[in-house]
Amino acid sequence: MSEDELLLEQLFDEEKFTDKQKKIIVAAIESFSEKGYAATSTNEIAKKAGVAEGTIFRHYKTKKELLVSIIAPLMTKLIGPVIVNDFHKVLDHPYENAEDFLRATIENRRVLIKKLLPVIKIMIQEIPFQPELKQQFLDQIAKKVFDRILIVIKGFQDKGQLIEMPPASMARLAVTSIFGYLFSRYIFFPESEWDDELETERTIQFILHGIAK
Amino acid sequence: MSEDELLLEQLFDEEKFTDKQKKIIVAAIESFSEKGYAATSTNEIAKKAGVAEGTIFRHYKTKKELLVSIIAPLMTKLIGPVIVNDFHKVLDHPYENAEDFLRATIENRRVLIKKLLPVIKIMIQEIPFQPELKQQFLDQIAKKVFDRILIVIKGFQDKGQLIEMPPASMARLAVTSIFGYLFSRYIFFPESEWDDELETERTIQFILHGIAK
Amino acid sequence: MSEDELLLEQLFDEEKFTDKQKKIIVAAIESFSEKGYAATSTNEIAKKAGVAEGTIFRHYKTKKELLVSIIAPLMTKLIGPVIVNDFHKVLDHPYENAEDFLRATIENRRVLIKKLLPVIKIMIQEIPFQPELKQQFLDQIAKKVFDRILIVIKGFQDKGQLIEMPPASMARLAVTSIFGYLFSRYIFFPESEWDDELETERTIQFILHGIAK
Amino acid sequence: MSEDELLLEQLFDEEKFTDKQKKIIVAAIESFSEKGYAATSTNEIAKKAGVAEGTIFRHYKTKKELLVSIIAPLMTKLIGPVIVNDFHKVLDHPYENAEDFLRATIENRRVLIKKLLPVIKIMIQEIPFQPELKQQFLDQIAKKVFDRILIVIKGFQDKGQLIEMPPASMARLAVTSIFGYLFSRYIFFPESEWDDELETERTIQFILHGIAK
DNA sequence: CATGAATGAGGATTCATTCAT
DNA sequence: AATGAATGAATCCTCATTCAT
């Protein structure tokens, strides 16, 4: 529970929730991420949360609203680091090189993904089926984040650190490599032994220099 | 319908299906990939297929069996190219270089993914929740394919074409780059304009040489 | 049950219903008329009909559709006699006097109301709350019937049998007297002893001559 | 609100209610008469009244008690005029004729019905389903009022103003004519244009002399 | 007095599955 | 083999009512 509480704090710092509401959210996250949204019954969530089924519907008008109000704040949480930190880093330290930037970015994301794992699983599963979430995702995450990344890439290209290539293509290549690593690490094979520092380093070197000798 | 028929032929060449059964499969694939397995009702599939609901259960004991018998053959289909073609290519033409191999691999996969798109979507969505599929996937795809890839990588490393790195790590980096491209192309942003040849080339160069100048 | 069957035949001559569907209709009419639509649960109807709750929803998409498909055909049934019979009577037998016309009309209605009593109760209760029914009632019954009545009244006025008074007002007075009688007889005080022939006669004389000496 | 307040004053002169309680009653009357008792939720009433749901149950043990305590006093209000005024009128002014009596009675009722319209609607809807209300209605209104009416009718018959007819039948005919008018006027077609004085007069003449020439 | 969160029984409706035809 | 009516458990959700604050 203490771990869940941490997750909650991470997700909802400022907002005030009643005790029961917190339990509902924790239970919903657990069930949704284990069985999927559609396959989870509100009755099941209620039991796991130790509340009456009606209580869920006092706080969330529908089951879908419960889902959305779990996922939506996550969107904001996930862009935060990109927009605020990274952007400034690059502008404030013009001497900084692409390698350090990548390292910071991956680590940043790694910690976040690790903490928000179950919620991210839900997000991945449900965004394709929930137009509301999809729209939010495209507007808030995809677009905003992508725009920042393009700026950063152009910055490093201008400094001569990166090769010439349309920034959009480069962004795709770098981003999928990073998320390829993070998803392999935390979602596909979380039970394997991982030397995070080493794999992070390999991923960075791969992004920068590829695998050819 | 001709496109669906092609998909079916692709998926189930040898097997003999009644006309109704084919319609059921096509309808199920469409619904499952659009709304998800759990959110699709058998009644809906029956209507879309133009058969009675009972007919579905004459061919498949349960709804889950319908899902599995759609996804399972896909597994075999997807490894085929890796195991049969690629493996032989490398062994038969020892002079071939890694770049050509990558190019063939990506193209191979690209055509397949394009054709099997809806089924692949279902696979991605449902494998996490269906232990039966998960096991099949791990045993048939992940393991077998990974083993082959490791061999191929070692082969190129031995030929001095690739840098020294644990083949497993290298496999992860290359594979996620390839699938990062293919998923971006066909699943995340299928509606964007894509110059496939160019992006394939960029992906290959990225895997080989990275983005650093 | 035989009485219910008669009611059903009366209500739905030509249409074909399955056995279970008939039972559902009979049970619904009984419950709706006894406790009101909103206070009747589908579970209760199912039990009374001896079918599974799901069976109700196989035949009627919603509870409201069940209500409407019970009440709607009644509307047609109730106007039939007015439009077809009465209208022709007056036109075909120009010598006929208002008294005989009234007698036939009341008797006609009396037999119908007696037979359709429970359904009429439902109609009275639910029309105010179901816009769909209300509209149908206004369009089909109220307007059509009223138009015919006006014609009949004008006919008798022209023949000098009725006093001068706006036909609409006269229609209201006559109609409410007739329904006042029928409702007193069958809805408000059905358990009292009624000498129907005598009371019909009194009602007719009242409509024609009032109560003043 | 001033109109509602008037209604309240009309309904509950002497009793003392808290401000919130008045709001609850007003809200309940509005909702009950618009959607019916069974289809109105206490939550809805609470919102409309601007009070907490619990507050309703502080004043009324159950939802049904709320209904009854709205309808019950109405019963007394509605008989009042009959028993007190009319009765005395006839006894005190033996020379008065039936026509004037009818006129006074209708007008009396007309004003009352107009003011109490929403509550009367509720009464009509719910009496058939609430045995408690039904009993009260039969004992207090139907019986008492009917007894008075019989006396009045006999009085006028003795004075030779009315024809010979069992007073009960005559009561039914006159009463349904009056209420037929009032209900047409205020409940069935309130939105039509009505010349009240004229229609009242027509109704009186109809009751006295009928429609025959 | 008043609140409103909490309850859990009960509501309408959906669903996968069965089975007589 | 195919049907589609029938099932009843399960689903999401609503509601009157309670009770700690």
pLDDT of B188 reads: 84
Tens digits of per-residue pLDDT, B163-180?
999 999 999 999 999 999
Q: Contact A210/B208, CB-based, under 8 Å? A: yes
Instruction: Identify the residue among C37, C41, C211, C213 best suited for mutation to test binding to D, counting D beta carbons within 10 A and taking the highest.
Output: C211
Tens digits of per-residue pLDDT, D49-94?
999 999 999 999 999 999 999 998 888 777 766 666 555 555 556 5
- Give me the residues paired with residue A162 across strands: B212
Mean pLDDT of B176-202: 91
Smallest Cα distance from C96 to chain D, Å: 14
Name the pLDDT band for B5 (thresholds 50, 70, 90).
low
Q: Are C60 and C27 in contact (CB under 8 A)?
A: no
- Give me the residues paired with residue B162 across strands: A212
Could you give the 3-state DSSP secondary structure of residue B130? coil
pLDDT of D1 reads: 46
- CATH code given to domain C64-209: 1.10.357
Q: Between these two residues, C123 and C96, which has the higher pLDDT value?
A: C123
* Touch criterion met for C and B (3+ Cβ pairs within 8 Å): no
pLDDT-above-70 percentage for chain A: 85
Smallest Cα distance from D125 to chain C, Å: 6
Tens digits of per-residue pLDDT, A99-140?
888 888 888 888 888 888 899 999 999 999 999 899 888 888
Touching partners of C (3+ C-beta pairs < 8 Å) = D
Q: In the structure, how far is the CA atom of residue B65 from the C1' atom of nucleotide E16, in angstroms? A: 12
pLDDT of residue C1 exceeding 50, the answer is no
User: Nearest nucleotide (C1') to the CA of residue C39?
Assistant: E11
Name the pLDDT band for B12 (thresholds 50, 70, 90).
low
What is the fold, at CATH topology level, of the domain defined by A63-209? Tetracycline Repressor; domain 2 (1.10.357)
Distances (CA, A) of A204 to A104, A159, B149, B183, C17: 10, 19, 22, 21, 72
The answer to whether C140 CB sits below 7 Å from nucleic acid chain F is no
* N-terminal to C-terminal alpha carbon distance within chain D: 49
D66-209: CATH class: mainly alpha
Least confident of A171-185, C102-116, D155-169, D171-185: C102-116
pLDDT of residue C179 exceeding 70, the answer is yes
* N-terminal to C-terminal alpha carbon distance within chain A: 49
Other C-beta atoms lying within 10 Å of the C-beta of residue B52: 12
Q: Between these two residues, D178 and D140, which has the higher pLDDT value?
A: D178
pLDDT of C170 reads: 93
pLDDT of A17 reads: 82
Mean pLDDT of B154-169: 91
pLDDT of B199 reads: 93
Mean pLDDT of D88-117: 77
Q: Are A33 and A119 in contact (CB under 8 A)?
A: yes
Q: Which residue has the tokens 């039990």?
A: C47
C100's CB contacts (< 8 A; 6+ apart) are none
pLDDT of B82 reads: 60
Which residue, counting CA atoms, is nearest to the C1' of nucleotide E7? Answer: A52
**Nearest CA to D105 among D200, D3, D35?**
D200
Q: Contact C160/D213, CB-based, under 8 Å? A: yes
Of B163, B176, B210, which has the smallest distance from its Cβ to A176's Cβ? B176
Tens digits of per-residue pLDDT, A21-78?
989 999 999 999 999 999 999 999 999 999 999 999 999 999 999 999 999 888 877 7
Q: Contact C176/D180, CB-based, under 8 Å? A: yes
Tens digits of per-residue pLDDT, A130-176?
998 998 888 888 888 888 889 889 988 988 899 999 999 999 999 99
Which residue type sits at C136? Answer: Q
Q: Are D12 and D21 in contact (CB under 8 A)?
A: no
Cα A207 to its chain centre, rounded Å, is 20
pLDDT of A195 reads: 94
pLDDT of residue B7 exceeding 70, the answer is no
Highest mean pLDDT among A100-114, C145-159, C196-210: C196-210
pLDDT of residue A210 exceeding 90, the answer is no
Which residue, counting CA atoms, is nearest to the C1' of nucleotide E10? Answer: C41
Smallest Cα distance from C78 to chain D, Å: 18
Question: What are the structure tokens assigned to A118, written together?
Answer: 């179950």
**Nearest CA to D119 among D77, D80, D81, D83?**
D77
Mean pLDDT of B152-166: 90
pLDDT of A6 reads: 59
Burial class (CB in 10 A: 0-12, 13-18, 19+), C19: exposed
Q: Are A56 and A23 in contact (CB under 8 A)?
A: no
Give the Cα separation of A110 and A81 in Å (integer): 12
Which residue, counting CA atoms, is nearest to the C1' of nucleotide F6? Answer: C55
**Nearest CA to A210 among B168, B198, B177, B166?**
B177
Give the Cα separation of A204 and B11 in Å (integer): 39
Give the Cα separation of A16 and A9 in Å (integer): 10
Domain segments of chain C as ranges: 2-59, 64-209
Q: Which residues 118-157 of A interface with strand F at a CB distance below 7 A? A: none
pLDDT of residue B32 exceeding 80, the answer is yes
pLDDT of residue C10 exceeding 70, the answer is no
C9's CB contacts (< 8 A; 6+ apart) are none
Of B129, B206, B209, which has the smallest distance from its Cβ to A36's Cβ? B129
Instruction: Identify the residue among C101, C124, C176, C187 best suited for mutation to test binding to D, counting D beta carbons within 10 A and taking the highest.
Output: C176
The rounded mean pLDDT for chain D is 85
Q: Contact C209/D210, CB-based, under 8 Å? A: yes
Tens digits of per-residue pLDDT, D114-161?
888 899 999 999 999 998 898 888 888 888 888 888 988 898 898 889
CATH architecture of structural domain B2-59: Orthogonal Bundle (1.10)
Contacts 24+ apart (CB under 8 A), D113-116: D113/D182, D113/D186, D114/D186, D115/D6, D115/D7, D115/D10, D116/D7, D116/D10, D116/D11, D116/D74, D116/D77, D116/D78
pLDDT of residue D13 exceeding 80, the answer is no
Smallest Cα distance from A141 to chain B, Å: 13
The answer to whether D203 CB sits below 7 Å from nucleic acid chain F is no
pLDDT of A1 reads: 45
Least confident of A68-77, C37-46, D93-102: D93-102
pLDDT of B114 reads: 86
Four-point Cα dihedral A61, A66, A68, A73, nearest 10: 120
Q: Which residue has the tokens 């009433």?
A: D45
Could you give the 3-state DSSP secondary structure of residue D32? helix
